[in-house]
Structure 1
Amino acid sequence: MTKRAPAKRPAIHMIDTEADTLTDLALARRERSPAAELLLQEIDRAKIHPAAKMPADVVTMHSRVEFVDEGNGQSRTVELVYPADADISAGRVSILTPVGAGLIGMREGQSILWPDREGQQRRLAIVKVMRA
């Protein structure tokens, strides 16, 4: 039996100051949030930019992002926020959720195979990024 290599994740981009803040947040919440480890892995592989050089089509903190869950075809538009500001009924998703950690740094047109809360792999495709 042959083992399949995990799907390669697309290149991602992060703002330098956000990467620092998110690293501190994820390290502080590592014991209580399974998504914290996923977030740290994403920060480690991200290309880091100063805010002024960040491409406009990249998901950053407080971006509104439209994405499609390709597993069920459902489209959602959410704002990516810090945990204290999260409110799913208002469309504000915490960076410390699996979806939040999967969206950060992605560009319009990219997709990523990402675990959901139950550990099932889902393909999320970025349709549109709107900056605050």
Structure 2
Amino acid sequence: MTQPKKNHRKPKIVVGDVDYKRLTDLAAAAQERFPEVAEELQSEMDRAHVVQAGTVPAKVVQMGSTVEFRSDSAQQRRVTLVFPGEADIAENRISILTPIGAALIGLSTGQSITWTALNGRQHALTVVSVEQPALAVPGSLPG
């Protein structure tokens, strides 16, 4: 008897146009130094549904979002997704240029994704909650 195959299709993701532009530029700039992560980030941007920055739902992980997620090891973590220069693991600020950072961008509360760590091991995570930064992008508030 064969085991059913797991569905490895990635979930649909949403990215604001401002993040999309910055992240595709970052992926291109990082291609020489961090080719694997740069390619993964570009792949995520290629499959993203891009919307106007002010219309990204609050439950979607964006740059600057604080995300609580549960990993396949049943560990729950709370991190803030940031650009490389702002990363500080001691402060739970993870770079978008890490495999887990690239995996988180654009996910919504309740979505799960499988991602590959730098050591080649596959992991899964599920987004439990998303909080947007206190300072909103100008023009993103209803009004």
Larger mean CA deviation between 116-125 and 56-65 belongs to 116-125
Deviation at 1:97, TM superposition (A): 0.2
Q: What amino acid sits opposite 2:118 in the alignment?
A: R
Other structure's SS at 1:43 match: helix
Structure 1 unaligned regions, length at least 5: none
Counterpart Cα distance in 2 of 1:65 and 1:5: 25
Q: What amino acid sits opposite 2:57 in the alignment?
A: P
Q: What amino acid sits opposite 2:55 in the alignment?
A: K
Q: What amino acid sits opposite 2:15 in the alignment?
A: M
Counterpart Cα distance in 2 of 1:8 and 1:120: 18
Residue-by-residue CA offset, 1:78-109 (whole Å, 9 max, x unaligned): 00000000000100000000000000000000
CA distance 1:19–1:69, shift in 2 (3 Å): same
Return structure 1 stretches of 4+ with deviation > 4 angstroms.
none
**Counterparts of 1:66-105 in structure 2 under 5 Å?**
66-70=68-72, 72-105=73-106
Q: What is the RMSD computed on CA atoms of the aligned residues? A: 1.2
Structure 2 unaligned regions, length at least 5: 134-143
Q: Which residue of 2 aligns with 1:19?
A: 20
Deviation at 1:5, TM superposition (A): 8.5
Q: What amino acid sits opposite 1:19 in the alignment?
A: Y
Q: What amino acid sits opposite 1:77 in the alignment?
A: R
Q: What amino acid sits opposite 2:86 in the alignment?
A: D
Q: What amino acid sits opposite 1:82 in the alignment?
A: F
**Normalization by structure 1: what TM-score?**
0.93
**Normalization by structure 2: what TM-score?**
0.86
Residue 40 (structure 1) aligned to one of 39, 42, 47: 42
